Amino acid sequence: MNGSTTSTVPDVIAAEASASVERKLARVPLVLSNRNFSWITERIAGVNEGAAPRWWWVTFSISSLVAAIGLFCLGYQISTGVGVWGLNHPVGWAWDITNFVFWIGIGHAGTLISAILFLLRQKWRTSINRAAEAMTLFAVICAAIFPGVHVGRVWMAWFLAPVPNNYGIWPNFRSPLLWDVFAVSTYFSVSVLFWYTGLIPDLGTLRDRAKGKLQKLLYGIFALGWRGSNRNWRHYEMAYLLLAGLSTPLVLSVHSVVSFDFATSVIPSWHTTIFPPYFVAGAIFGGFAMVLTLLIPARAIYKLHDIITPGHVDKMAKIILLTGTIVSYAYAMEFFIAWYSGNQFERYSFYNRIFGPYWWYWWVGMLFCNFVAPQLFWFKRFRFNIYIVYFVCMCVNAGMWFERFIIIVGGIHRDFLPSSWGMFHATWVDIWTFIGTFGIFMSLFLLFIRWLPMIAMSEVKIVLPEADPHHHATPEGHHPVAAGGMERTQ
C-alpha cells in the first residue's frame, strides 16, 4: 500500500503479485494513445467539415429509398385502411405493435447512457452518449409511427390527446394506451432537450471553425450564443444535471407504461406483474445492442478507435450481459409462475409459446438470441473480439423483435375458445412498412453523423487527464496504474 512505510505486515507477498494481476486492476485511460484536445476536435469536427465520402452517399441513397418505400406503404395503408395489414380476429395486434415496442425499446439506451450513467459518474459514457442519444430520438420517431397509424383513421389521431372539443369527447384516462401517448411524448421532448443541451458547446466549436458563411450562420443560430465563458459552463452544467435527473425516471417509465399496454389486460401471458422491470431491462438490452451495431462500423470508418476504445465495447457488452440476464430471469419467472399459478390458460399459453405454431420464434428468438448468445459475454476474450460482439448484437437485435412478436401474437392467437383460434400472416405492406422504418432510422442517423459531431467533443475532453486541475504531465504520459495507484482516469 502506498505510504505504508511502517507496515508490520510482510510486503513480500504483495510484491510478488504478478504483473498480470496489476494489469487487470489498472484503470485503463478513457482515451487511448495520449490524444490531446486538439486531436479530438480535429478528428470529430473533421467528419462534419470534410466533403461527404462516397460510401455516405451510397448508403444514404439506399436508406432514403427504403424509407421512401416505407412511406409509400404508410400512405397506401392510410388511404386504403388497416385491412392491408395481416391483422384479423383474434390477432388484432401483430407487426404494428411489435415494431412499436421494438423501436421504443431501442430508444432506451441513449437516455440511459446520458442520464443514468451521468448520475452514476460513469465517465466512459462520454464517448458514446451523443450518438446513442441521437439514435434514441430516431428510434422514438420510428416507434411513434406505428401506434399513430394503427388507429386506422389517422386523421382522428388527435383524439389520442385530451384536446377540449365541441363534442365533449375525451380519451379514456384509465387506458394505458393513453398513458403511452403521454409517456412517449414526454420522453421524446425531454430527450430532445437533453440531447440539444449537450450539443450546445460542440455547436459553438463547429461555428467557430466553420469556413462557409451559411454553416457559420446555422451553427451560430443553434449554438445560442455560446462563448465558452465560465458563466456559460456553469449554466450548462446545471441544466445538464437537472435534465439528467428528470430523464432518469423517464427511462424507467416509458417502457413500464408500454408494458402496461399488455399487463393490465387479463390475457394469459400478457397479464403478469413482472412486466414493467422486465420490459425496461429488455429495452436497455436491445438499445445497447443497437448502439454497438451503429458505433462499431462508425468507429472503423472514421478511425475513432482511440475514443471508442475496446474498453468501451467491453463495458457495453457487460451491460448487455447484465440486462440479458435480468431478461432471462424474467423469462424464467414467467414460466415458473405460469406453472405455479395452476391456471390452465396461463400454463397452456406458455406451453404454446414453446411447442405451439410459433415455436421457432421462441427457440430462435428468445432462447438462442436473447439468452444463449449473450452468454458469450461472460468471457473477456469474447468481449474483446469485435466480430463476436457484433454477432451477439445482431442476435439481440433480432431476438428482441422476436420476443415482442411472440409475446404479442403468441398471447392472442390462441383465444380462450379453440373455435376462435387463428394465425397471423404478414402481408407485403406489413413487411415493407417495417423495413421502411429501418430506412427512416438509417437516413436520419446518416444525416446526423454528416452534420453534427457524433461524439461529444467537450465531454470527452473533460475526462482527459489534462482536464484535471491536479494533473501533472509525466514524460511517459499515461501509464497503467499499479494496484493501489492514485490516478483517476475512470
Q: Which residues here bind another protein, judged by CB under 8 A?
A: 1-4, 6-11, 13-14, 16-18, 21-22, 24-25, 121, 249, 252, 256, 260, 263-266, 271-277, 325, 329-330, 333-334, 337, 339-343, 378, 470, 483-486, 488
Q: How far is the CB of 254 from another protein (least distance, A)?
A: 13
Q: Taking the CB of residue 266, how many other CB atoms lie within 10 A of it?
A: 8
State the nearest-atom distance from the C-beta of 25 to another protein, in Å: 5
Q: Which is nearer to another protein, 165 or 474 (CB)?
A: 474
The minimum distance between CB 415 and another protein, in angstroms, equals: 17
Alpha-carbon distance 446 to 440, whole Å? 10
174 or 211: whose CB is closer to another protein? 174
Closer to another protein at the Cβ: 208 or 415?
415
Location of C-alpha cell 440486462:
323
Q: Which is nearer to another protein, 11 or 466 (CB)?
A: 11
Nearer to another protein, 205 or 272 (CB): 272
For residue 334, which of 269, 404, 406 has the smallest C-alpha distance?
A: 269
- Among residues 148 and 171, whose Cβ is nearest to another protein? 171
Distance in Å, CB of 123 to another protein, minimum: 12
Q: How far is the CB of 463 from another protein (least distance, A)?
A: 15
Smallest separation, CB 317 to another protein (Å)? 13
- Round to whole Å and give the CA distance between 471 and 486: 12
Minimum distance between the CB of residue 50 and another protein, rounded to whole angstroms?
39
Assigned C-alpha cell, 143: 416507434
Pick 18 or 166: Cβ nearer another protein = 18
Q: How far is the CB of 342 from another protein (least distance, A)?
A: 5
Nearer to another protein, 215 or 248 (CB): 248
The CA–CA distances, whole Å, from 52 to 29, 47, 64, 451 equal 31, 8, 16, 10
As a whole number of angstroms, the distance between CA 144 and CA 66 comes to: 18
User: CA 342 to CA 274: how far, in whole Å?
Assistant: 18
Q: Closest Cα to residue 106, out of 71, 142, 67?
A: 142
* Residue placing its CB nearer to another protein in the complex, 63 or 272: 272
CB of 398 to another protein, least distance (A): 24
Instruction: State the nearest-atom distance from the C-beta of 472 to another protein, in Å.
Output: 13
Question: Residue 219 or residue 371: which is nearer to another protein going by CB?
Answer: 371
Short-list 243, 125, 252, CA closest to 189: 243
